[in-house]
Amino acid sequence: MTVDERYMKRCLDLAVLGAGSVSPNPMVGAVVVYEDKIIGEGFTSPYGGPHAEVNAIQEVLTNYGEEEGKALLRQSTVYVSLEPCAHYGKTPPCADMLASFPVKKVVIGCLDSFDKVNGKGVQILRDAGIDVEVGVLEEECRFANRRFFTRITQQRPYVILKWAETKNGYFAPKADRQEWISRPASKQLVHKWRSEEDAILVGTRTALIDNPSLNTRLWKGKSPKRVLIDKNLEVPETSKLFSITNSDLIIFNAVKTDWKAHLKYIELENFDFYLPQNILYQLFLMDVQSLIIEGGAKTLQQFIDANLWDEARVITGDVVWDDGIPSPKLPVASKETLKVGSNVLNIYINK
């Protein structure tokens, strides 16, 4: 690993600390290096707050004072996992901020595909006489922001499929009852995943049989928006989904459109045609950058068949059933296999 790659790896470690709080912004990490020593670092603040570069620079100025800090910055290299922004949004452009010192050099993991940035941040830096290098750990940096890039290039959320299955490939009992497959460690991991995504989706049958809350009660972190597919509004308002008011409940249906505080009914015309496509586009319009789909089997398979999924996380339990509903079928091989307690986690990536 080269020196540049080592510092970019630190940027990536910082970037993921913003998971679950920065959307719809990207997750970015930045470090300031002077004579092979990190003198400042930062990651993107919760949405609306300062970006990673601003936080890293501010740490330098706080630790060394304005005068000495500015002198150090003029001789420093700034590493950042994503191209500094070049437009006014909730905050001023980070490229302008870096150019104002100016820093000696900026090393960038990958360019920002967003039209208002794409290459413009690099140009601002070079116009200020700053040495710029692009493409250090580029693949890793793009993967870290796969949710952001999917949203801006495909106009839909990044879609993660998640389910648990028995050793012999069953998803759920055929009878209308809930039966757990995964163990406590896996359940806690799932709640961590929920805290990192913008929204979570289930179908009618799952809502009726499992009566889920779809929150993060087993993990410290925000609860995602809850999304329910309920064509004929069969799920009663006495269910747990309706009892939670600190996150939106979005109900896609064929009956009505009605928005009241956290409760949002969205009627879809021609409900049975292109359902995954219509749901994802509506969520895109609502600034949902990532979506985790937890069931049921029919709902998951619909998104697989439409090729509208990016990642799948399949937990295999340590139980065997004689019969049941078969698990969804993925058209790709597992990319990674991990142990979670006595369970096995397989991760699939849709290229």
Distance CA 92, CA 96 (A): 8
Where do we find the tokens 């400042």?
A: 40
Q: Which of 172, 187, 189, 164 has its CA nearest to residue 316? A: 164
234 is in which domain, residue-wise?
A: 155-349
Task: Please identify which of the residues 5, 41, 53, 269 carries the catalytic annotation.
Answer: 53
Question: What was the pLDDT predicted at 38?
Answer: 98
Q: Are 308 and 276 in contact (CB under 8 A)?
A: yes
- Which of 131, 148, 165 is where one domain is finished? 148
Give the contacts of 195 (CB within 8 A, at least 6 positions apart): 19, 20, 216, 219, 220, 221, 222, 223, 224
Question: What was the pLDDT predicted at 39?
Answer: 98
Pairing outcome for strands 170-172 and 325-326: antiparallel
- Which of 148, 173, 190 is where one domain is finished? 148
Q: Are 70 and 101 in contact (CB under 8 A)?
A: yes
Distance CA 48, CA 253 (A): 32
Same-domain pairing of 141 and 188: no
Number of other residues whose CB lies within 10 A of the CB of residue 18: 23
- Tokens standing for residue 251: 């109900």
CA atoms within 13 A on the CB side of 155: 5
Domain of residue 226, CATH code: 3.40.430.10
Where do we find the tokens 């939106």?
A: 248
Q: Are 261 and 285 in contact (CB under 8 A)?
A: no
H helices of the chain, in order, are 3-15, 52-64, 66-73, 94-99, 120-127, 138-144, 146-154, 184-196, 204-210, 240-243, 275-285, 297-305
Same-domain pairing of 305 and 344: yes
Tell the burial category of 153 from Cβ atoms under 10 Å away from its Cβ (0-12, 13-18, 19+).
Answer: exposed
Distance CA 295, CA 276 (A): 13
Same-domain pairing of 86 and 193: no
Compute the residue count for the chain.
351
Same-domain pairing of 69 and 127: yes
pLDDT in tens, the chain (351 residues): 899 999 999 999 999 999 999 999 999 999 999 999 999 999 999 988 999 999 999 999 999 999 999 999 999 999 999 999 987 777 789 999 999 999 999 999 999 988 777 889 999 999 999 999 999 999 999 999 999 999 999 999 999 999 999 999 999 998 888 888 888 899 999 999 999 999 999 999 999 999 999 999 888 888 999 999 999 999 999 999 999 998 999 999 999 999 999 999 999 999 999 999 999 999 999 999 999 999 899 999 999 999 999 999 999 999 999 999 999 999 999 999 999 999 999 999 998
Same-domain pairing of 144 and 159: no
Number of other residues whose CB lies within 10 A of the CB of residue 163: 20
Same-domain pairing of 105 and 52: yes
Q: Which of 42, 44, 109 has its CA nearest to residue 81? A: 109
Same-domain pairing of 87 and 137: yes
- Tokens standing for residue 21: 């709080």
Same-domain pairing of 198 and 340: yes
- Which of 102, 121, 148 is where one domain is finished? 148
CA atoms within 13 A on the CB side of 110: 20
Catalytic residue at 53?
yes
* 52-64 vs 3-15: helix crossing angle, rounded to 10: 110
Same-domain pairing of 199 and 330: yes
Q: Which of 341, 49, 330 has its CA nearest to residue 190? A: 341
Give the H/E segment covering residue 312: strand 311-316
- Tokens standing for residue 8: 């970019």
Same-domain pairing of 280 and 308: yes
Beta-ladder partners of 295: 202
* 52-64 vs 66-73: helix crossing angle, rounded to 10: 130
Distance CA 11, CA 192 (A): 22
Same-domain pairing of 330 and 251: yes
Question: What was the pLDDT predicted at 228?
Answer: 98
